[in-house]
Structure 1
Amino acid sequence: MRLGIDFGTTRTRVAAVLKGNYPLIDFQTESGDIQDWYPSLIAVQGERLAFGLDALATQYDSDWELYRSLKRLLALGSPQSVLRVGQVELPLMDWLTQFLTTLREDLLRRSNLEVSSQEPLEVMVGIPANANSNQRFMTLEAFRRAGFHLLGMLNEPSAAGIEYAHRYRQSDVTRRREHVVVYDLGGGTFDVSVIRMTGQRHEVLGSDGISQLGGDDFDELLMELALSQPVLADSTRKHLSRVRLLNLCREAKESLNPSSRKITVDLSQISLVAGEVLVPVSQFYEKCETLISKTIRATESAMHSVLGEAGDDLQTLACIYLVGGSSELPVLARSLRDRFGKRVRRSPYPSAATAIGLAIAADQESGYTWEEQFSRHFGVWRESEDGREIVFDPIFSKATPLPGPGQPQLTANRQYHPAHNVGHFRFLECSQLKEQQEPGGDIIAWDAVLFPFDPSLRQEARLDQIPVERWPEAHSQWVEECYQCDAQGIIHVTISNQTSDYFKKYLIRESRSQKAKGGKRKAMSRRQ
């Protein structure tokens, strides 16, 4: 059985491949309700853990500690990161794996998916377009550990673009209007991609986004307004559960329609002494303007980087396609239409478009092909001018095409004579490059990799305790760095001393400041 799985910040959705159709999978809750989404939720009581549907059943039980937005944390974490929920502390990877394991079990026993427990679940997995290589690695690895068979990973806006083409290609896309902008506002992230559609071939031409902006932030704004209402006593405010209050605000936000004038937040569901709080919709929308403006600026940036002046008059644009659960907020479409006019179209299934697109991509008979690209610059700091300056060397630049399924990995090489006894490589990813190739925008620092240029240090287990200093014999050594990036955007680097015939391979991961102590390193290898 082939599936498309959109692991969301608040809700996870699954679509199946079924004889040319791509239906959403329904789940049955503990109370017997049927819903077409799976809660991305963790709950803890003492040492007891609950995930997904079981966690949802505890959301208004004060004996349980809730944690939502696990996906959002992945953008800042690493395989060594630790998350504490209640009294339970586990590696972030373990939390994610247990959640996905429960999802797999519930697909088999609490959904309408007709499949035997012995049949493999082959999945195409979604990932935010602006996800860094560390988030991509953790997501894929957790799905594998949970027992899913991975077909591949696709950026979420690209998947939504496939759903759009499957639904509208014949009516919207022409030779003159072959570009589609996918505006994807989810629970925790915002992504925008410009896609050229030629028949069933999709080429991502440019992407932008904000990794820490999504529906969660709109929920926070509504919560602040609810707590500021004078009907609430200070003592009541202090005893309200933040997580449960945010959940109430999310539900109230999702109930809005274009004619709504008041937002009702029913605090009696989480407090014995509080009742309903009414927030004027106009106040809430006014608060939302700053967040919406940020997404519009990112959309304009992506369009101008690809379409240039044509991005202003929208002549080559078929559609700005709104997807993601948070795009259902009425004021959002209104603001986008004020800026971009009639080209704005919301998906009939904004919350499910990505999952459906992933299922179509998983279908061997669908005929769709796609070409992704780097959404960030990846590189390393280096010394120049004999150590007098530090410069950024972009290894893979933003918009570099990623290899497609079955294609060879993308590679880049650097060769040089070193100057020091130990190489100290400080990797980072950034969303922009400013003047003089300086990193800018959203910056994430990765592993500070250490490699012994001096052959006498190649068996040294604690290179971090060796002072990095200029080495007179360094000019006699020839060093090569070989970078490899796969179709999922995961990067490895192999550093080798060609002269003395040894090398070491690294997976680029989280910065040392965020890693748990004692992180494992691969052993030094000699060339065979």
Structure 2
Amino acid sequence: MRLGIDFGTTRTRVAAAIRGNYPLVTFRAGRDHALDWYPSLIATCGDRMVFGLRAEAVQYDAEWALLRSFKRLLGDSQPDTMWKVGGVELPLLEWLTRFLASLRLDLIHRSSLEIGQRDRLEVMLGTPAHANSNQRFLTLEAFRRAGFDVVGMLNEPSAAGIEYAHRYRKVDLSKRREHVAVYDLGGGTFDAAVICMAENRHDVVSSEGISRLGGDDFDAVLLELALADPTLPPPSAVSYSRLLTLCREAKEAITPNSRKIVVDFGQVDPALGEAMVPVMEFYDRCGPLISHTLQATEAAMRAGLGAETEELSTLGVVYLVGGSCELPVLARALRERFGKRVRRSPYPSGATAIGLAVAGDLEAGYVLSDRFNRHFGVWREAEDGQRIVFDPIFSKETRLPRPGEPALVVGRRYRPVHNVGRFRYLECSALRDRTEPAGDILAWQEILFPFAADLAGQRNLKTVRIQRDPAVASHAIEEVYRCDAHGVVEVTIANRSTGYARTFRVRDVSVAADAAETGSA
């Protein structure tokens, strides 16, 4: 069974590839209740832990501690980062694996799929377009540990573009207008991508993203307005996340004809009762968030199409996907900006999962060419150590290899100056003057490599004082970087003069610390 899984901030959606059809999978949440999504939720009570559907069943029970929107935490975490939920503390990767193992069991026992315990679940995964390498690694590793057979990973707006092509390409596009701009507003992130579509081949030509803007932020705006109601008493010791859930439910009930939003806080605190928020007041407060997404969308269009948005003659459609796109004001704002080009997916919440299922179906024949969405590189010393410069190894918009193609390979050669090399890697969304990281910047911890022969066997180089060493000035050092189809980067650093080499997964420093040593290549 091949599946497309969109691991979402608040809800995870699954679509199946079944003889050329790609239905969303439903889950039995009760005797007469089915959901076309799986709750991205963890709950604990004492030493008990429940996930997904079982966690949702206790989400309003004050005895249970909750962890919501944990996908948002992945970008700033390492596999050994500890998360504490109530009284239970475990490594991040363990929490994520247990959640996904619960998803796998519920796919077998509580879903619309007809599969058995021993059936292989081959999955195509989605990640935010601007997810960093560490987040991609954590997602891949947790799915594999949970028993899924991962066949590939696509950026979420790219997958949504495939869903669009599968549904509409012959209707909306022509040889003159062959570009689609995907506007993807999820629960925790926003991505925009421009995709060139020709027959079954898709080329992602540009993308922009906001890693901390999504439906959660709209929920927070509504909560602030609702609690400002002067008729409400001060809230008691009710979990903030539970109040946010009530606001999310109230937000999702808004229709184009709504005039007021009713938030029933009485579900978790009878003293609070109901709060009333005028829809237009909520929309006005959401204006800056919406403007931020429009700016990112226009930036992706300028980068991909090389023209101002008024002159985008080759743009066929602006395609709205993501659960948060169902908010009526969003479609209205986009139509005011882009006119009749705007089209919302009939399944905005499920478009990415459906596109992933199509992409994973070998018989569908779609070929996607995706790209780096950040600059990846390393700080280096220049001018005999007098200046630090950034060396971009893989530049933003570099095309990623397709599944089955050889990895991207980039090399560097030089002669060292110090006894130990200190490699400080980072990813950034922009470069200023071509050498200075700017925009959204994520700095990794450093990797240490011994240039001096007498340090080659020392495992803990952090205790070694880094200093200039004339003895290594004649040594030849080579760095070889490899990037696979998932956007995950490894580097092999080799001292060609001594034959000593080590390979590091740059995506994760804790893995790098245990990297295996190899002989000379």
TM-score by length of 2: 0.98
| 5+ long unaligned stretches in structure 2 | none
Residue 135 (structure 2) pairs with residue 153 (structure 1): no
1:387 counterpart residue number? 385
Shift of 1:475: 1.4
Q: 2:312 aligns with which of 306, 311, 314?
A: 314
2:465 counterpart residue number? 467
1:130 counterpart residue number? 130
Q: Deviations over 1:118-174 (max 9, x none)?
A: 210111111111011111111011010000111100111011000000110111110
Residue 333 (structure 2) pairs with residue 340 (structure 1): no
- Deviation >4 Å, runs of 4+: none
2:65 counterpart residue number? 65
Shift of 1:238: 3.9
SS at match of 1:117: coil
Aligned residues: 521
Quote the Cα distance in structure 2 between the aligned partners of 1:93 and 1:31: 33
2:449 counterpart residue number? 451
Q: Is the 2:4–2:353 Cα contact (8 Å) retained in structure 1? A: yes
Amino acid of the structure 2 residue aligned with 1:312: E
Quote the Cα distance in structure 1 between the aligned partners of 2:440 and 2:270: 43
Q: 1:371 aligns with which of 369, 372, 379?
A: 369
How is 1:255-404 mapped onto 2 (pairs within 5 angstroms)? 255-309=253-307, 311-404=309-402
Amino acid of the structure 2 residue aligned with 1:500: T
Quote the Cα distance in structure 2 between the aligned partners of 1:31 and 1:7: 25
SS at match of 2:164: helix
Quote the Cα distance in structure 2 between the aligned partners of 1:90 and 1:338: 48
Q: Is the 2:317–2:342 Cα contact (8 Å) retained in structure 1? A: yes
Amino acid of the structure 2 residue aligned with 1:309: A
Residue 229 (structure 2) pairs with residue 229 (structure 1): yes
Q: Is the 2:504–2:512 Cα contact (8 Å) retained in structure 1? A: no
Quote the Cα distance in structure 1 between the aligned partners of 2:215 and 2:199: 33
Residue 514 (structure 2) pairs with residue 521 (structure 1): yes
Alpha carbons of structure 1 residues 314 and 357: separation in structure 2 relative to 1, 3 Å: same
| 5+ long unaligned stretches in structure 1 | none
Shift of 1:294: 0.6
Amino acid of the structure 1 residue aligned with 2:517: M
1:505 counterpart residue number? 503
Q: 1:479 aligns with which of 468, 472, 477?
A: 477
Quote the Cα distance in structure 1 between the aligned partners of 2:403 and 2:512: 31
Q: Deviations over 1:343-386 (max 9, x none)?
A: 11110000000000001011111011000100000000001011
2:140 counterpart residue number? 140
1:7 counterpart residue number? 7
SS at match of 1:365: helix
Q: Is the 2:490–2:507 Cα contact (8 Å) retained in structure 1? A: no
Quote the Cα distance in structure 2 between the aligned partners of 1:448 and 1:454: 18
Q: Is the 1:30–1:54 Cα contact (8 Å) retained in structure 2? A: no
Quote the Cα distance in structure 1 between the aligned partners of 2:516 and 2:137: 21
How is 1:490-501 mapped onto 2 (pairs within 5 angstroms)? 490-501=488-499
Q: Is the 1:16–1:22 Cα contact (8 Å) retained in structure 2? A: yes
Quote the Cα distance in structure 1 between the aligned partners of 2:506 and 2:325: 33
Quote the Cα distance in structure 2 between the aligned partners of 1:451 and 1:239: 51
| Seq. identity, % | 58
Q: Is the 1:459–1:524 Cα contact (8 Å) retained in structure 2? A: no
Quote the Cα distance in structure 1 between the aligned partners of 2:312 and 2:332: 18
Alpha carbons of structure 1 residues 436 and 144: separation in structure 2 relative to 1, 3 Å: closer
SS at match of 2:409: strand
Q: Is the 2:505–2:512 Cα contact (8 Å) retained in structure 1? A: no
1:241 counterpart residue number? 239
Q: Is the 2:369–2:400 Cα contact (8 Å) retained in structure 1? A: yes
Q: Deviations over 1:410-469 (max 9, x none)?
A: 010000000100000000000000125200000001130000011110011210111111
SS at match of 2:283: helix
Quote the Cα distance in structure 2 between the aligned partners of 1:524 and 1:125: 31
Q: Is the 2:233–2:271 Cα contact (8 Å) retained in structure 1? A: no
Residue 84 (structure 2) pairs with residue 91 (structure 1): no
1:430 counterpart residue number? 428
Shift of 1:263: 0.5
Quote the Cα distance in structure 1 between the aligned partners of 2:252 and 2:30: 22
Shift of 1:526: 2.5
TM-score by length of 1: 0.97
Amino acid of the structure 2 residue aligned with 1:211: S
Quote the Cα distance in structure 1 between the aligned partners of 2:271 and 2:82: 36
1:21 counterpart residue number? 21
Q: Is the 2:425–2:446 Cα contact (8 Å) retained in structure 1? A: yes
Q: Is the 1:458–1:524 Cα contact (8 Å) retained in structure 2? A: no
Shift of 1:522: 2.0
2:181 counterpart residue number? 181
Deviates more, 1:217-226 or 1:25-34: 25-34
Shift of 1:474: 2.0
SS at match of 1:12: strand
Shift of 1:337: 1.1
RMSD over aligned CA atoms reads: 1.3
